[in-house]
A and B are shown apart, each in its own frame.
Chain A
Amino acid sequence: MSLKTMQIMNETQIESSLGGLGVMRPAQSSNGKKEIATTISLTSLVDCFTTILAYLLLATSFGGESMDVPKNMSLPHAYHSTVLEGGLVVMVQNGHYFIGKTAIAIDHLAETLKAEKDRTHTPYVVIQADRKASFSQINPAVLSGLQAGFEQVRFAVLQEDET
């Protein structure tokens, strides 16, 4: 056996994908019948899938809290906002105030917020309202939050990236 044929690289050599595609249009064989064989290069497909997967993994925001936004409510946009980190959410909808799914009367909003603050030790209150809502509707939530002793009043917005 010659040295050339004994080389391990000759035995492990893999045909190139382009070379493999050559069998898709084979020359006429000796018995006159065409032998059709197909090969599909899956490498580019796997590359595409891996890129999409990496993008989706990066685009998914990990660590942030989620907030339920009703269908008929659209939040305003803001560039200089921070990721939602929990906090006690007060939703203002058509002049009604909700903590979670519980409607709170405007007269009891401050004391309810105070009780929730003492229970959860949350340092800030997040006010969620429709972008078209007037400040006269939001004002009681702001005042009640301050009266309850929250360190900070935050407003729910849709985060925008500055380009």
Chain B
Amino acid sequence: MARSKKRHLEFELNLLPFISVLAVCISFLLLVSVWTRIGTFNTDQAFGTDGAETAKNPMSLWAKFDNDGSVRLVVNDGKNLETKGMPDFKIAHSNLIAIEKYAHLIKSKMPGLKMAMVLPAADSSYEDIIFVMDKLKKENFSQVGIAPL
């Protein structure tokens, strides 16, 4: 009489080592993860370099800080800072966020304007300077520079 052998083909996957490996990986990554990303804000300088002195100054937007923290946005036509008919806005420190609106307005009037220069005052805070430069970059001013004192 032939005995019927029942083949045991069921298999069990032991998940515990897998879970242990995953738990170790997660713990390691949680410990080494850097949650604040440090980056750099890049400037395109037009002041202080030898090349800038000889090159012809193109039209640019100047953001000039005053000691009270207010910012004056004025378009420099390459010759004079104050030229009749050019946009000129003064933004109070408490309303610094409005710089985005004014920069957008200037950009819509002069779409070819790509250069912007930030002229900080001695008391201007690093945070305000970066804020203004960041807003100018947002409004597609691709070349944003900073002028030393």
Contact = CB atoms under 8 A, between A and B. Distances in A.
Interface of A: 1, 8, 11-12, 14, 42-43, 45-46, 49-50, 52-53, 56-57, 59-61, 64, 66-67, 69, 75-85, 87, 124, 126, 129-136, 138-139, 142-143, 146-147, 152-159
B91 interface: no
29 contacts: A11-B6, A11-B8, A14-B10, A42-B15, A42-B19, A49-B26, A60-B32, A60-B33, A61-B37, A69-B38, A77-B130, A78-B39, A81-B39, A81-B40, A82-B42, A83-B37, A83-B40, A124-B42, A126-B40, A129-B126, A131-B126, A135-B125, A135-B126, A136-B123, A146-B49, A146-B148, A155-B126, A156-B38, A158-B39
A136 B67 CA distance: 11
Contacts of B45: 146, 152-153
Interface residues of B, number: 51
A82 B39 contact: yes
Contacts of A76: 126-127, 130-131
B149 interface: yes
A83 B130 contact: no
B32 to A, nearest CB: 7
Interface of B: 4, 6-10, 15-16, 18-19, 22-23, 25-26, 29-30, 32-34, 36-45, 47-49, 65, 120-127, 129-131, 133-134, 137-138, 146, 148-149
Given A152-B43, A153-B146, A157-B41, A135 B26 contact: no
A135 B129 contact: yes
A126 B126 CA distance: 14
A159 B39 CA distance: 6
Q: From B7, B120, B148, name the one whose CB has the most chain A CB atoms within 10 angstroms.
A: B148
A53 B40 contact: no
B62 to A, nearest CB: 16
B19 A46 contact: yes
A12 B9 contact: yes
Contacts of B44: 152
A158 B33 contact: no
Contact of B123 (A1, A134, A155): A134
A160 to B, nearest CB: 9
A43 B137 CA distance: 48
